[in-house]
Amino acid sequence: MITLQDKNILVTGASSGIGRQIAITASELGAKLTIIGRNIQKLEETLALLAGDGHKIYVIDLSDAANLTSLISESTAYDGVVFNAGVVEYLPVKFLNENKINSVFATNFDSNVVLSQKLMKNKLLKKGGSLVFVSSISSKLGVPGTAMYTASKAALSAFSKVLASELASQGIRCNSVSPGIIKTAMTEQAAHVVSDEELKKAEAEYPLGYGQPEDVAGLIMYLLSDISKWMTGSDLVIDGGFTLK
Amino acid sequence: MEINTFLKNFADILEDTDAALIQQETVFRDLDEWDSLIALSLIAMADEEYSVKLTGDDIKSSNSLNDIFEIIKNKA
């Protein structure tokens, strides 16, 4: 049975969607959570949904490393960290510019790298701990209009592998997960770009339909728990069979 | 904003279509070149040129380029 009893777990992007569900499920398995998000109201909603007590929240915009100071100085070492914060932007390559490239990478890649670096440097990762990076199935595909999102997620998966090597001697594991389309506010927003009709057509490409946040959360619980103690450097696809087609 | 400038901006996102075919009454969906990438380009162009967030449903509910132009004008 998977348990996270008394594990100290940090989750970024926990205001909504997959991140919120990861925090909720982890708390139900006994973890003490520190959750990070940009929206205080939504973050407090997540906090109210957590089982047990002793959880902490930090309202931080991770795209600026200067905002990490209080989190780093007030934290005790973590058994697990889920790097989940991310944004999606649909833009054909022809319309890219330096600002757009930087803003997507700042959130989806740079902020996660900087946070992991600060946690390491300040000895805030426990031996035997587990780091999980939330990537995307699109990092392995070539869906038109997703160049920067896809590139930033592919970079994250690649980073996770190198980090897995560097942390292996301390017994700290590092893996990424690549989900297919999950029904969240973020994909709802995408629906406004793609149109509801097209999103429904796209769902037909998923043998098991679109995923729910708890589907990804379940896989991440496995990675955070000691049951997966021999797994590191992997990128796990969870996509309802999408890539079978 | 001006319809002729909009039509020129739209013609600019196309690669294979004769600019003469790009008129106010053109049914953009019937253009050989029309696909999801051109739709995304149209959304990006509206954002870049007019600071307007066009949605997929705006495009779905439109037939002619003039319909798109009117939506952008109303949102600008």
pLDDT for the residue numbered A193: 65
Q: Is A106 on the interface with B (CB under 8 A)?
A: no
pLDDT for the residue numbered A215: 97
**CB B55 to CB A95 under 8 A?**
no
Whether pLDDT at A195 is above 80:
no
Write out pLDDT tens, residues A110-119.
999 999 999 9
Using CB atoms, which residue from B36, B41, B55 is nearest to A95?
B41
Which of A56-60, A188-192, A215-219, B4-8 comes out lowest in average pLDDT? A188-192
Secondary structure letter of residue B28 according to DSSP: G
pLDDT for the residue numbered A217: 98
Write out pLDDT tens, residues A45-64.
999 999 999 999 999 999 88
Using CB atoms, which residue from B41, B56, B60 is nearest to A92?
B41
Q: Which residues of A are less than 8 Å from B36 in CB distance?
A: 144-145, 194, 198
Residues 6+ apart with CB under 8 A from A88: A146, A149, A186, A189, A190
Q: Which residues of A are less than 8 Å from B60 in CB distance?
A: 195, 197
Q: Are B39 and B56 in contact (CB under 8 A)?
A: yes
Which structure tokens are listed for A227? Answer: 């049951």
Handedness of CA A51, A132, A232, A118 (dihedral sign): negative
Q: Using N-to-C axis directions, what is the helix angle for B36-50 and A185-194, rounded to 10°?
A: 100
Using CB atoms, which residue from A94, A191, A197 is nearest to B41?
A94
**Catalytic site positions of A:** 135, 149, 153
**CB A95 to CB B45 under 8 A?**
yes
Secondary structure letter of residue A144 according to DSSP: T
Report the gap between the CA of A187 and the closest CA in chain B (Å): 13
Instruction: Compute the average pLDDT of residues A149-172.
Output: 97
Question: Residue A53, SS3?
Answer: coil
**In B, residues 6-65, which contact A (CB 8 Å cutoff)?**
13, 36-37, 40-41, 43-45, 48, 55-57, 59-60
Instruction: Compute the average pLDDT of residues A71-81.
Output: 97
Q: C-alpha angle B10/B15/B19, rounded to 5°?
A: 55
Rounded CA-CA distance A78/A123 in Å is 9
Higher pLDDT residue, A121 or B60? Answer: A121
Structural domains present in chain A: 8-237 (3.40.50.720)
Write out pLDDT tens, residues B14-63.
999 998 999 999 999 999 999 888 999 999 999 999 999 998 889 989 99
Rounded CA-CA distance B36/A74 in Å is 48
Q: Are strands A78-83 and A8-11 parallel, antiparallel or unpaired?
A: parallel
Q: Where does the pLDDT of residue A183 fall: very low under 50, low under 70, confident under 90, or very high at 90 and above?
A: confident
Question: Please, what is the end-to-end C-alpha distance for chain A in angstroms?
Answer: 33
Whether pLDDT at A23 is above 70:
yes
**CB B43 to CB A195 under 8 A?**
no
pLDDT for the residue numbered A242: 94
Instruction: Compute the average pLDDT of residues A65-80.
Output: 95
pLDDT for the residue numbered A184: 82
Rounded CA-CA distance A176/B38 in Å is 33
Q: Where does the pLDDT of residue A158 fall: very low under 50, low under 70, confident under 90, or very high at 90 and above?
A: very high
Question: Please, what is the end-to-end C-alpha distance for chain B in angstroms?
Answer: 9
> What rounded mean pLDDT belongs to chain A?
94
**CB B40 to CB A94 under 8 A?**
no
- B55: nearest Cα among B69, B71, B67, B73: B71
Instruction: Compute the average pLDDT of residues A164-174.
Output: 97
Which pTM was predicted? Answer: 0.91
* CATH topology assigned to domain B3-14+22-75: 1.10.1200
Q: Percent of chain A, pLDDT > 90?
A: 85
Q: Which residues of B are less than 8 Å from A197 in CB distance?
A: 60
**CB B36 to CB A145 under 8 A?**
yes
